[in-house]
Chain A
Amino acid sequence: MTDNRIDYYPTHEHEGIKFRRGHTLPFGATMVANGVNFSIYSSASTSCTLVLFERGEAEPFAEIPFPDEFRIGNVYSMIVFELNYERLEYGYRMDGPYNPAAGLRFNKSLILSDPYAKVIGGRDTWLNKPNWDNVYQYRSRLAFEDFDWEHDHPLETPIEDLVIYEMHVRGFTKHESSGVKNPGTFSAIRSKVAYLKELGINCVELLPIYEFDEWENSRESPTTGEVLVNYWGYSTVNFFAPKAGYAATGKFGMQVDEVKTLIKELHKSGIEVMLDVVFNHTAEGDHRGPTISFRGIDNKTYYMLTPEGYYFNFSGTGNTLNCNNPVVRNMVLDCLRYWASEYHIDGFRFDLAAILGRAQDGRPLSNPPLLESLAFDPILAKCKLIAEAWDAGGLYQVGSFPAYGRWAEWNGKYRDSVRKFLKSDPGEVGGMIQRVMGSPDLYSLRGPTASINFITCHDGFSLYDMFAYNEKHNEANGENNNDGANDNNSWNCGWEGETSDPAINFLRHKQVKNALAILLVSQGVPMVLMGDEVGRTQKGNNNTYCQDNDLNWFDWTQQETNADLYNFARGMINFRRVHPVLRSPTHFQYWDYVGSGYPDISFHGTKAWNCDRSASSRSFAFLLCGDHAKQGIVKDDMVYVAMNMYWGGLHFELPALPPEKKWYLFANTDMPSPVDIYENGQESLLANQSDFLVGSRSVVILIGK
C-alpha cells in the first residue's frame, strides 16, 4: 500500500487504540486506508464517545471520546487505525442535557446506533430470541461496498410499461409449499424468478427491507396463541441497512451481498426492483419508546416536536420524522442515492408520503423542498418515485401531490371506484371511465403514468377476500377487531367466508378475474398484490401486519388448486405486455389524429357508440384504436373491452371494424376455465361479428385484427 499521505498515520492514542482527526464527510463509518473513518452529526450534544465492540461481545473493547478539536461545526469525526472491518461493531454515546420540554433527550448511559450505518447487527436471524439485557441491541457495522455487478445497471423500463408486483420478502417463499432452500429469504426469491417471469411481472415492489425489529410490540394472539410480530416492517431502525433477518446469510452478516445478488438476478430477467420506503417515522415510537439512535443523537433535529417537546404523530405510530429539516432532508437524499447507486434499485414507493411535504411544525408546504430535491436529483434521475399520497394526520393529496413532473401516486381513487363498480354500486360508470383512461380527472397535466392503479395492496383485503367477506375479521390480531379499515367496499357474493356452494365460488372467481381484467386494461401503471393471482386468502383479516403465518405466506399449492385464477392472471398480464395500446404514456385525445378512421379511445354501451353514464347504469365498453398505440408510433390491434356489472346478461352491439379486420375473443370471465381466456395470438374468431352477449357481472375482451 502506498503510504505517501500524512493521514495514513495515527496522531492520537487512547487505551492502546490509535486514531487521528477524521473526515467530516461522508457521514457514517467508511473504510479508508489503514482504518475506518467515523463521522456523525449532532447539533445539541456537548460531547461524543465512539464505542467499539468485537462482534457479538457484551462489553466494548474500547471507548474513545472525540477530542474537542475533532469537532467541526456539529460534526464529530475521527479515523481509527487497525480495526478489523469484519468483526467490528460500533456505536456512540452522546452527552448533553435531558430536557424533553426543550426537545433534548440525551442520555450518555445508552449506546446509540449510527443513523448512517450500512449494516445493523443484533437481529441477524428472523425471530431468533434477542438478549434483552444486551447493553447495545442494534449494532452498527461496516459493509464491504465492492460488489461485482458485472454488466448490471438499473433497467430504466418506461414506467407505463411496468406491471408491478407488491410482495413481502419473507411471505413469498416462507410457506413449506415453496420447496426452496432457505425459505423466507432474499436468496429464496431467486428460485422463483422463473415464476415471476412466466406471470409476466416486470417489477417487484418489496415491502420494507430496511432493518427493523420483528420483535417490536410482539405479543401473543388471543385466538391462536401464536406470537404476533412486526411482520410488515413499517418501522425503520436504520434507513441504510437491509434487514438481516430476511437474508439466508444474515447470521454471517453477508446480507448486503445477498440483496445485491438478488437484484442482479432479477435484472437479468428484465424485472425491476422497487423498494417500499418508510421515511415518515422510525422504530423509536413516542416519548415512551426505546432510544435506539435518532432520539439520543439529536432528538429535535430528527423528529417533529410539539412546542411542549412531545412527538407529533402524523404517521399514526407515535413519532414523525422531521423530513423537512435540512439535515434530515439530506439524510433521506443520501439514503436514496445510496440505494440507487450501491444497490441498483429502480424505484421507490414512499409510505405515507404526504408527511414528506409537511413543514417542521406540521403544516403542509406548497413547495416542499424534500420532494423537489428528490425529483431533480441527478443520481435519482431515472428512478421511479411513487407516493402514497396521504398520511395518518388527514392530509390527502391523491391528484394533488407536489409532483415536479416526476412523482407518481398510488391512486386510491382507482381502488375505490373499481371496488364499488365490481360490487354493482350505482353511479360508478362515470368514475370508471376516468379510471380506465388513467384518471385524467386527477392527472390532467401529469399524464396516466402518474397513476399507479391498484385494487388491493398489503394494506386491506386480498383480492379473493374482497369477494368472500363483507366485514373484516381481525380477531387474530388481538385488538378486538378494532384495527384495520372499515370502508372496504367488499362483497361476499352471498355468504360470509368459505363455502362449498359452487355457484358462489364460481362468482367469486369470476369477480377476481373481473378485477384483474379491469386492472390490466386500464391506462396507468398496474400493481398486483402478491398471491392475488392464485386467490390468496387472509381469512377475512384486512390488517395482517403482525401475522407471520399462513395468513400472509404465499401458498404455492394454490397455483394448482386455483389454476383457473393463475391462468387468467398470467394471460391478462401478458395481454397487457403484448398490446402497447394499453400502455399510453399520455392521455387520450378523443380524436383520430393518425387518420385510422377511429378516435384513439371511444366509449360504448349495449349500443355501439352510445355509452350510458347514468346513475342506474352498471355497464359500459371502450374501444382502443391500435393505430394510435403509443401516440401512433407503433401499430397494435383494436382492443374492445365490455364490462357488465349488472346482475343480468346484456347484449352489447359491437362497433364495426374496418372491412379487413374481424373480432376475436380474448377473454370472457363468464366462461369456465380454460375457455375464459385465450393465449395471445390464439384468440377465438367470433361467429357473430355484430353483437356479443356479456354475461352478468362479467368482463369481455375482444381484439380486432
Chain B
Amino acid sequence: MNVTSSTVEAITVIEASGSIDSKTAPEFERTAIAAIQGQKEVIIDLTNVEFLSSAGLRVLLMIYRQVKTQSGKVVLVGTSEEIQDIMANTGFLSFFITVDTLDEGIKTLKAS
C-alpha cells in the first residue's frame, strides 16, 4: 500500500494504492487524518486500491465522521465494483458520494 495527499483546486485529495488491510490501515489512517485537518471537502482516490478490509473500511468511515463534524463532504473516486459491492453489503457505501474520476469528484464538490 502507498498513500499520498495533495491539494487540487483547494480540495484535499488522498490517493491510495494497493491493498488496505489491518497491516496497512494504520499508515493510511495517519496520512489521511493529517491531510483532512480543517478541511471540508475531501476526495479519496481509490482507483488503484485492489482490496479494502474491515480495518480499511473503518478508516474511510473515520474520515467521513471527522469531515462530517465540520459539515463537510467526502467523495470516493474510482472505487472498484468489487469494493463497492463489499461496501454496499456492509453498509459503508451509504455514507459516501462515489464517482468514477477525479475530475468528476472535483466537479461534484464544487457544485455542492
Contact = CB atoms under 8 A, between A and B. Distances in A.
B58 A144 contact: yes
A258 B91 CA distance: 7
B30 interface: no
A661 interface: no
A147 B90 CA distance: 10
Interface string B52-89: 01110110010001000000000000000000011011
B110 interface: no
A84 interface: yes
B90 A86 contact: no
B22 A257 contact: no
B21 interface: yes
B89 A187 contact: yes
B86 A86 contact: no
B18 to A, nearest CB: 16
B23 A257 contact: no
Interface in A172-201: 181-182, 185-187
A87 interface: yes
B54 A253 contact: yes
A86 B55 contact: yes
A295 interface: no
Interface residues of B, number: 18
A249 B22 contact: no
A187 B22 contact: no
Contacts of B65: 148
Given A84-B23, A86-B21, A254 B58 contact: no
Contact of B91 (A85, A87, A181, A260): A260
Interface in A85-112: 85-87
A252 B22 contact: no
B53 A86 contact: yes
A75 to B, nearest CB: 28
Nearest to A147: B91
Nearest to A248: B89
A249 B86 contact: yes
B50 to A, nearest CB: 13
A163 interface: no
B53 A252 contact: yes
Given A249-B90, A254-B86, A86 B61 contact: no
A258 B87 CA distance: 9
A221 interface: no
Nearest to A260: B91
Interface string B5-37: 000000000000000011100000000000000
A189 to B, nearest CB: 11
Contacts of A144: 54, 58
Contacts of B21: 86-87
Interface string A216-258: 0000000000000000000000000000000111001110011
A36 to B, nearest CB: 13
A254 B55 contact: no
A249 B90 CA distance: 8
B26 to A, nearest CB: 11
Please report whether the interface of chain A is mostly helix, strand, loop or mixed according to DSSP.
Answer: loop
B22 A84 contact: yes
A639 to B, nearest CB: 41
Contact of A252 (B58, B61, B86, B88): B86
A182 B89 contact: yes
Contact of B54 (A181, A187, A254, A264): A254
A308 interface: no
Contacts of A260: 91
Contact of A146 (B22, B58, B86, B88): B58
B22 A254 contact: no
Contacts of A258: 89-91
A261 interface: yes
Contacts of B89: 182, 185-187, 247-249, 254, 258, 261
A187 B55 contact: no
Contacts of B55: 85-86
Chain B CB count within 10 A is highest, among A253, A258, A260, for A258
Contacts of A148: 61, 65, 91, 95
A342 B88 CA distance: 20
A119 to B, nearest CB: 10
A328 B84 CA distance: 41
Contacts of B58: 144, 146
Contacts of B85: 181-182, 248
Nearest to B22: A86
Nearest to B94: A261
Contacts of A254: 54, 57, 86, 89-90
A260 B55 CA distance: 17
A254 B23 CA distance: 17
Given A85-B22, A248-B85, A261 B53 contact: no
A146 B91 CA distance: 13
A320 B106 CA distance: 61
Given A84-B23, A86-B22, A257 B88 contact: no
B91 A257 contact: yes
Chain B CB count within 10 A is highest, among A86, A146, A247, A253, for A86
B62 to A, nearest CB: 9
Given A249-B86, A249-B90, A257 B61 contact: no
B58 to A, nearest CB: 7
A148 B91 CA distance: 9
Interface in A129-157: 144, 146-148
A393 to B, nearest CB: 41
Interface string A398-431: 0000000000000000000000000000000000
A252 B83 CA distance: 11
Nearest to A254: B90
A317 B85 CA distance: 39
A248 B86 CA distance: 8
Contacts of A261: 89-91
Contacts of B23: 84, 87
A185 B23 CA distance: 29
Nearest to B62: A146
Nearest to B65: A148
A296 to B, nearest CB: 29
Given A84-B22, A86-B21, A252 B54 contact: yes
Q: Sorted from nearest, which 10 A-B pairs have the closest CB atoms?
A: A261-B91, A86-B22, A257-B90, A187-B89, A248-B89, A249-B89, A254-B90, A86-B55, A258-B89, A84-B22
Given A86-B55, A258-B91, A261-B89, 16 more contacts: A84-B23, A85-B55, A86-B21, A86-B53, A87-B22, A144-B58, A148-B91, A186-B89, A187-B88, A254-B54, A254-B86, A257-B90, A258-B89, A258-B90, A260-B91, A261-B91
Interface of A: 84-87, 144, 146-148, 181-182, 185-187, 247-249, 252-254, 257-258, 260-261, 264
25 contacts: A84-B23, A86-B22, A86-B55, A87-B22, A87-B23, A144-B58, A148-B95, A181-B85, A182-B89, A185-B89, A186-B89, A187-B89, A248-B85, A248-B89, A249-B86, A249-B89, A252-B53, A252-B54, A254-B57, A254-B86, A257-B54, A257-B57, A257-B92, A261-B90, A261-B91
